[in-house]
Amino acid sequence: MKNDLFLRALKGETVERPPVWMMRQAGRYLPEFMAIREKYDFFTRCRTPELASEITVQPIRRYGMDVAILFSDILVIPQAMNIEVQMKPNFGPYLPNPIRDQKGVDEVIVPDVNVELDYVMQAIKATKELLNDEVPLIGFAGSPWTILCYCVQGQGSKSFDKAKKFCFTNPIAAHQLLQKITDTTIAYLKAKVKAGVNAVQVFDSWGGMLSPVDYQEFSWKYINQIIEALKDDAPVISFAKGCWYALEEMSNSNASALGVDWTVTPEVARKLTNNKITLQGNFDPTRLYSPPTEIKKMVHTMIDAFGKDKYIVNLGHGILPDIPLENAKAFIDAVKEYKS
């Protein structure tokens, strides 16, 4: 690997500067992505290896991040599990037949990922060729809880109230569903590593919807199963948005890094994790609206606060679609210009 900063940071090795990438860097805001988006609908882009690999490398070509993340979506998992998922323009994910009872859970299958999700493996192989060992490639999945949120709610939500209602009124069925998703996700991430990804990230985007106690029962328990199953295959990054309260426990797991959002200071995050694990984050994505000179200053302050080692510079959540190109560039350049 010509640029191994990211892999070294995951091992906690001393680096000249921390590596940098942005969550949701593939797609969303680049004009070259919008051109592809006009011609092909969302799941066609995911299912066509030439398109998915091209979208994956676009931000690397433009900005030179230290790692690529495969263009795909967390919702390819429920699709493969026999749950219909649509991506509606200007609306987001829509599942016309949400799971609301035991019968719904019974109908969910644990698929052969090498058959149902073969297109993802082909996209990884095509991407590895394009990347030519310049930078590593991240594969990802949603956390079982975050996937359950969509499967039960049927769409995005500010509270995921229907998903929580299902868990609290029908916990046996909810746990069966979480376990099916976990089993599928483990097989899926293992297949992705076999196909060529160098690390995996689990996105628990909606973990913060749960209380600390419920987080243990309905989310972390399953994420930890994934970490344990993958630990000998590839480094695992666990990103749990809104879950700073679980950082200490997560730091005791076999994850290689923990993602943090901007609601926790670097100092508190380091303290909670006893400075023993690599942290990734945590720039407020809306701070990319600030002028480029200010962005650069804030990035340098952030690196000083986390420390350059055991650290991966990132946003605290995905980049927003209307961030000016020069502002995204300022974020990446600031890291490359960093001198300790």
Footprint of ligand CP3 on this chain (CB under 6 A)? 23-28, 37, 42, 69, 71-75, 87, 92-93, 140, 142, 156, 203, 205, 318
Q: Provide, rounded to whole angstroms, the least separation between the CB of residue 102 and ligand CP3.
A: 26
On whether 317 is known to bind a ligand per the annotation, the reply is: yes
Q: Give me the residues paired with residue 87 across strands.
A: 93
On whether 280 is known to bind a ligand per the annotation, the reply is: no
Q: Provide, rounded to whole angstroms, the least separation between the CB of residue 184 and ligand CP3.
A: 16
On whether 28 is known to bind a ligand per the annotation, the reply is: yes
Q: Beta strand 311-315 with 278-283: parallel, antiparallel or unpaired?
A: parallel
Cβ atoms of 330 and 289 within 8 Å: the answer is: no
On whether 80 is known to bind a ligand per the annotation, the reply is: no
Q: Which of the residues 73, 183, 261, 333 is marked catalytic?
A: 73
Q: Which of the residues 8, 17, 28, 45 is marked catalytic?
A: 28
Tokens, residue 174: 């909810």
Q: What angle do CA 35, 131, 325 make, to 5 degrees?
A: 40
Q: Which of the residues 37, 62, 119, 245 is marked catalytic?
A: 37
For ligand CP3, the closer of residues 196 and 270 by Cβ is: 196
For ligand CP3, the closer of residues 22 and 299 by Cβ is: 22
For ligand CP3, the closer of residues 142 and 144 by Cβ is: 142
Q: Which of the residues 8, 24, 47, 270 is marked catalytic?
A: 24
For ligand CP3, the closer of residues 42 and 306 by Cβ is: 42
Query: Does the annotation mark 73 as catalytic?
Result: yes
Q: Provide, rounded to whole angstroms, the least separation between the CB of residue 304 and ligand CP3.
A: 26
Cβ atoms of 337 and 296 within 8 Å: the answer is: yes
Q: Provide, rounded to whole angstroms, the least separation between the CB of residue 201 and ligand CP3.
A: 8
Cβ atoms of 301 and 336 within 8 Å: the answer is: no
On whether 25 is known to bind a ligand per the annotation, the reply is: yes
**What's the gap between Cα 80 and its chain centre?**
19
Cβ atoms of 108 and 81 within 8 Å: the answer is: yes
Three-state secondary structure of 181-240 = HHHHHHHHHHHHHHHCCCEEEEEECCHHHCCHHHHHHHHHHHHHHHHHHHCCCCCEEEEE
Cβ atoms of 49 and 122 within 8 Å: the answer is: yes
Residues in the chain: 340
On whether 24 is known to bind a ligand per the annotation, the reply is: yes
Query: Does the annotation mark 338 as catalytic?
Result: no
On whether 122 is known to bind a ligand per the annotation, the reply is: no
Question: Cβ–Cβ contacts within 10 Å for residue 312, how many?
Answer: 24
Query: Does the annotation mark 100 as catalytic?
Result: no
Query: Does the annotation mark 161 as catalytic?
Result: no
On whether 101 is known to bind a ligand per the annotation, the reply is: no
Q: Provide, rounded to whole angstroms, the least separation between the CB of residue 45 and ligand CP3.
A: 7
For ligand CP3, the closer of residues 45 and 175 by Cβ is: 45
Q: Which of the residues 150, 188, 311, 338 is marked catalytic?
A: 150
Q: Provide, rounded to whole angstroms, the least separation between the CB of residue 337 and ligand CP3.
A: 24
Tell me the residue type at 213.
Answer: V
Cβ atoms of 60 and 68 within 8 Å: the answer is: yes
Residue least distant from ligand CP3 (Cβ): 27
Say how far apart CA 230 and CA 201 lie, in whole Å.
11
For ligand CP3, the closer of residues 292 and 318 by Cβ is: 318
Query: Does the annotation mark 150 as catalytic?
Result: yes
C-alpha distances in Å from residue 186, one per residue of 217, 232, 248: 19, 12, 24
Task: Indicate the annotated binding residues.
Answer: 24-28, 43, 73, 150, 205, 317
Q: Give the catalytic positions in this structure.
A: 24, 28, 37, 73, 150
Task: Indicate the annotated binding residues for substrate.
Answer: 24-28, 43, 73, 150, 205, 317
